[in-house]
A and B are shown apart, each in its own frame.
Chain A
Amino acid sequence: MGERVIQGEFEHHVLLAVARLRDEAFTAAVVLELEQRTGRAVSPSAVYVSLRRLESKELVRSVLVAGSEAGAHRERRFFRITPGGLAALRAARADLENLWEGLEALAGGDA
């Protein structure tokens, strides 16, 4: 169920961004976080679709929060990573480390 069901690099990045943002992960925030971390423009619609895919795979869950105090924003949907999502991230990282083993020279520094 939760493990090894991340599909594609972008989904992986979105899940990582949700994990980083903890309680503040809504679509716009994820977009900004990814742009800041990767230095590349990110499509909000791609993030929107990825979050809903991750939710359907139960790697994240969402909650719709009504307009905040002092009206700083209208209702927002906040996303949070699930234990299954965390397990999937760990599994993906382990796969990557296994594949990199022995290729430290390509990394251009210490492994």
Chain B
Amino acid sequence: MRPPRLARWLLSKSLPKGERATVLAEMEVLFRERASRQGRARATRWYLRRAVGFPVRLAGERLRRGPGWPGASEWVRDLRFGARTLARHPAYTLVSLLTLGVGVAALATVYSAAHWVLLRPVPGVAEPDRLATVQLEVRAPGSPAFPMSGPDLETFAGRMGAFTALEASHPLEADLDAGTGAAPRRVSGAAVTAGYLDLLGVVPARGRSVGGVDDEADAVMVGYRLWQELWQGDPGVVGTTVRVNDRPFRVVGVAPRGFRGASLPGSEDLWFPASALPSLEPGLGAEDLTDRGVALWSGMVARLRPGATPEAVRAEAESLMQTVRDEHPGGHSFAADFVLAAYPGLGLAPRARASVRRTLGQLGAVAGALLLLCLVNLGGLAYAHHLGRERTLSLRRALGAGRGRLARGTLFEQFLVGLLGGFAGLTLAAAAHAWLRRADLSSFGASLDAIVLTPRVAAAALAAAVAGALLAGLGPALGAARSEAAGLQAGGRSGGGRRTRRLQSGLVVVQVALSAVLLVGGGLMVRSVMALGRVPLGFDADATVRFSIDPRLHGYEAERLDGLVDELEVRLGEIAGVVSAGFTSPAPVRGSYLTFALVRPGAPDDERAAIAGQLQATPGFLEASGMTLAAGRFLTDADAAAATGGERPILVSRAYAAQLAPGAPPASMVGQVFRRPGGPDAEAHRVVGVLDDVYFTGLRGDPHPLVVVPWGSGWPDGELTGWLRVSGDPSGAGSAVRRVVREVAPGLSAYGIEPVRRRVQALMTEERVVTQLTSAVALVGLFLAALGLHGVLAYAVSRRRREIGVRAALGASPGHLVGAMVRWGLTLAALGAAAGLAASRAAVRLIEGRLFGVSDLDPVSYLAVVALLTVAALVAAWAPARRSVRIPAREALSVE
């Protein structure tokens, strides 16, 4: 009875030669003994386990003992030999390490970003993967979350079988005066339902959390970060009183470190019980908390029953919604086309997940292409390196080294290249992470401001580097195993000649093709960003500063608000360097507008009103913003008096004028009167001026139709934006603005103070970052391709010295020799470029959605790529070409 053959073979391979026969025989004894006691099946399983365990234990012992342990000396010697070989070829080693390092760094960085943005658990939340983000939304991709009323929320929490718990939060902004002497500051926070924080498993770092059934309306839990910043971590903060929107609140606890809400990136720093909402949201009363028609709760989180799927949730919710509509006709918080959707896990808002995944996917494809290019390059380098050592390998064969030993030696070398290249890649990746932390990526919908290179990502990157290097070394290892002692007699030039050249040329063509794909992508992105930068904004972004205040939180309304705005305008205008100041609501350059609808005179009843976004602005704002007139005049203070009666004066943008009176010149719009929808008695508005189009909300697409109404047309119910035109550097106005606001309205915080140019640039952040990354990767790819081309040509020159010498001796001119080399280099580059440009048609589809003002067949980009590749090929071919000319005919002919 013999042990299983495969296991026996495995075991024999792990044993040192001198011990093999003895140990195998003894294992056979043990196998037979077990088989006789426990049966053959159990004995076989035992033997299989030992066959795996033996090599592992021996390897551990070898590592522990080092040289002197039977078999260890061979491995260590091979490893040392590999290290010495690498040290003796520093150029090859350095280039290989850099090549591999760059590819690994790119992939590690993208993987790290993807993990951080998409897979990172929400800090401070226990078991976020067992919870689900629940949204009331419309049936359209990318729908925002709509709020639900308190009673509707209770209905769903109590009657949805798919949920074992459902809680919600109401996000809010507030002005916090911590009472520590620091200026009031704008803070994000949330009011939460009774069990919200418990559902998230949030354990306060100090004190208690908020939201309990009987929680007092003046309780507040502060965030850990805020606690450190404003109270320096003083445990005595619990029990102190702070002022939020000028109202006193008692601090009852501190949130755990890292917790900033249930979503990523989190921004909440204060949490209040539901009962506090009426004191935090102007216009909200206590009765609204129990009014089924008042929708307050949008940040919903649920624990799903085991086995409940998102589809099941949606179906059950539809049925329950219909029941609620039947039970409370006209008195609920969801329209007919709303659905309740559950998204497993907490993290990025569902709306952001798709676009972030798309962006990361694009970057991943770019990084993957670069890594592939690097591995191809590495393979070429390794093969050329191997060919240069044919003589050494033949010598070792002649001295008795086995084929396996030679192959193992090559693989050890590649293992070292992989290990060192991996560490080089991790160093580059760490630098890339530092750059990501500093980059403002808020427009991505994600934040990387605390991203770190985790051990998991580092280990994966290192493993990929070693695996890639070993893969690239397979060819050379096989070549080493095929070395023959007879190669010594042939002068070690048995490299396969033409076949080798073809293989290397093929590798170069592939590299050039990959590089061309990356360059096309990068080129199109660069042209796109340039086109975005040329979009005329319609307002002055260079000499202006913006900031926000939210006076309604402090009870300012009606005349008191008007008085505040007037006084602030005067005082801000007195700041040195400020040319003009004004206010508007809502904030432009932010993307959310109130809508304004007008109907054309004489339009049929069923014609839809033309919709525009609405700004309510002081005359000072129009002056400060630098908006220009196409016709008519700006609004004045006198217009404010006429803002609420008769024909109310308005400004319209060109885009809106085109909707109201298609084809009519702007000047003809001045003086025209339009009505709101609602018949002949609806509000009338007279156009006093037509503005040139402005791009406030984004640079893509058509300009947004805009209406500007005079200040006093109705009290703005949101935050106000102040605009200052300055005569100097806009970035220095911040402290003066804060001082003036504090003097005029203590307790009111001025926030978001920044030059308008920075806000406009933020609209393009995502494009710029993706473009920068793609271009950087493309240029690195070009460099690697040129390096590969140079290597092939240099190798060819060294291989064909004799032939070149013969040609020179027969009278070939230097120009002819150089021309031959350069022509060959250009041919390879041309083949690669043709393949790459064809392949880039498919690749460009990945970034089609990002392109602006440039077609995907943009001739300028393609021509630029061809020119770059040509220059790179010429540069790569130059040195080898020159070297070919310098070979003395006599020396070349006497080589053999």
Contacts and interface: CB of A to CB of B under 8 A. Distances in A.
Contacts of B206: none
Given A32-B33, A43-B53, A45-B50, A76 B26 contact: yes
Contacts of A76: 22, 25-26
A69 B645 CA distance: 123
Contact of A44 (B22, B27, B61): B27
Interface string A19-61: 0000000111001100000000001111011001000000000
Interface string B224-244: 000000000000000000000
A32 B61 CA distance: 23
Given A26-B26, A27-B26, A45-B50, A74 B58 contact: no
A48 B23 contact: yes
B57 A45 contact: yes
Contact of B22 (A45, A49, A52, A77): A77
B50 A44 contact: yes
Interface in B432-483: none
B745 interface: no
A34 B26 CA distance: 15
A44 B26 contact: yes
A51 to B, nearest CB: 11
A45 to B, nearest CB: 4
A75 interface: yes
B486 interface: no
A75 B26 contact: no
Interface in B51-67: 53-54, 57-58, 61
A79 to B, nearest CB: 12
Contacts of A26: 26
B26 A28 contact: yes
A18 B54 CA distance: 21
A28 B29 contact: yes
Contacts of B22: 27, 64, 74-77
Identify the interface centre among A28, A73, A76: most chain B CB within 10 Å of its CB.
A28
Contacts of B27: 28, 44
A45 B26 contact: no
Q: Is the interface of A mostly helix, strand, loop or mixed?
A: helix
B753 to A, nearest CB: 69
B10 to A, nearest CB: 13
Contact of B50 (A43, A52, A64, A77): A43
Given A43-B50, A45-B50, A77-B22, A31 B30 contact: yes
Contacts of A43: 50, 53, 57
Q: Is the interface of B mostly helix, strand, loop or mixed?
A: helix
A58 to B, nearest CB: 14
Contacts of A32: 30, 33
Given A43-B50, A45-B50, A49-B61, A74 B30 contact: no
Interface string B283-298: 0000000000000000
Contact of A49 (B26, B50, B57): B57
Interface in B12-38: 19, 21-23, 25-27, 29-30, 33
Categorize the interface residue count of chain B: 10 to 19
Given A32-B30, A44-B30, A44-B50, A73 B57 contact: no
B31 to A, nearest CB: 10
Contact of B54 (A28, A45, A64, A73): A45
Nearest to A46: B57
A32 B27 CA distance: 11
Contacts of A48: 23, 54, 57
A44 B14 CA distance: 14
B33 A73 contact: no
B54 A44 contact: yes
A42 to B, nearest CB: 10
A60 B419 CA distance: 40
B23 A75 contact: no
B501 to A, nearest CB: 50
A65 B435 CA distance: 67
A106 to B, nearest CB: 34
Interface in B33-53: 33, 50, 53
A45 B30 contact: no
A45 B27 CA distance: 10
A27 B23 contact: yes
A53 to B, nearest CB: 8
A64 B54 CA distance: 21
Contacts of B26: 26-28, 44, 76
A43 B21 CA distance: 19
A13 B454 CA distance: 44
Contacts of B53: 43, 45
A24 B281 CA distance: 91
Contacts of B33: 28, 32
Contact of B58 (A27, A31, A49, A77): A49
B410 to A, nearest CB: 30
Nearest to B21: A74
Identify the interface centre among B21, B25, B26, B33: most chain A CB within 10 Å of its CB.
B26
Nearest to B19: A77
A77 to B, nearest CB: 5
Contacts of A77: 19, 22
Contacts of B19: 77
Contacts of B23: 27, 48
B27 to A, nearest CB: 6
Contacts of A73: 25, 29
Nearest to B68: A56
A43 B23 CA distance: 13
A107 to B, nearest CB: 32
A33 B23 CA distance: 17
B35 to A, nearest CB: 14
A90 B733 CA distance: 87
A48 B71 CA distance: 15
Contacts of A64: 22
A76 B27 CA distance: 12
Contacts of A27: 22-23, 26
A52 B65 CA distance: 11
Contacts of A49: 57-58, 61
Nearest to B28: A28
A74 B532 CA distance: 83
Contacts of B61: 49, 52
A48 B70 CA distance: 12
A75 B58 contact: no
Contact of A75 (B21, B30, B54, B57): B21
A45 B51 CA distance: 9
A77 B50 CA distance: 20
A28 B24 CA distance: 10
A46 B58 CA distance: 9
A43 B57 CA distance: 10
A74 B54 contact: no
Nearest to B61: A49
A21 B114 CA distance: 62
A32 to B, nearest CB: 6
B44 to A, nearest CB: 15
29 contacts: A26-B26, A27-B23, A27-B26, A28-B29, A28-B33, A31-B30, A32-B33, A43-B50, A43-B57, A44-B50, A44-B54, A45-B50, A45-B58, A46-B57, A48-B23, A48-B54, A48-B57, A49-B61, A73-B25, A74-B21, A74-B22, A74-B25, A75-B21, A75-B22, A75-B25, A76-B22, A76-B26, A77-B19, A77-B22
Interface of B: 19, 21-23, 25-27, 29-30, 33, 50, 53-54, 57-58, 61
Shortest 3 CB-CB distances between A and B: which pairs?
A28-B26, A45-B57, A28-B29
Given A28-B33, A74-B21, 8 more contacts: A27-B22, A27-B23, A44-B26, A44-B50, A45-B53, A46-B57, A48-B23, A73-B25
